[in-house]
Structure 1
Amino acid sequence: MKLPDLSDLAIPGTTLAVRVTPKAARNAVLRDETGLRVTVTTVPEGGKANAAVIKLLAKALGVPKSRLELLRGETSRDKLFRIAD
């Protein structure tokens, strides 16, 4: 699985709107005109899907997982992340 290079978005303080699809066929990060779309194979139970999304996003952005903060959408498909300083 090849992730897109999102390092241009990895600026501290940047907020990222992400649309998440859990229980997908494969893990992927897609960038299109509407924003970022992340698909994960994990089920949305007990924060497992959120953890998988953070892991994928951090890898694509080239930042540590600890720098990604979930601001909004813990139980929603539409999430808002912020890159911490």
Structure 2
Amino acid sequence: KKQMVNCALLIKEAGWDGVEVMAGVGGILNRFMSKATNNRTDKYGGNLKNRMRLTVETIEAVREAVGPDFLITCRWSPVEYVTG
């Protein structure tokens, strides 16, 4: 989370209008959201709401850091082409 927040702050400082949180294509956020790869039994595993928790927390942390007027988008892959 901290690294994504730091990157978003650098992008804002560089003069960009927004940032995209990458939550797809096998990245860590995608792995947390995927039922096929997330076998956790804590608050980050199990049902979809729990599996999405890290992504939501990350976006919330980025929003808090960059402020309300900075565009944040999130890319994720709803189709994984894997069993599970």
Task: Give TM-score scaled by structure 1 length.
Answer: 0.37
Specify which structure has the higher proportion of helix: 2
Specify which structure has the higher proportion of strand: 1
Answer with 1 or 2: which has the greater Rg. Answer: 2
Answer 1 or 2: higher relative contact order, Cα 8 Å, separation at least 6.
Answer: 2
Task: Give TM-score scaled by structure 2 length.
Answer: 0.37
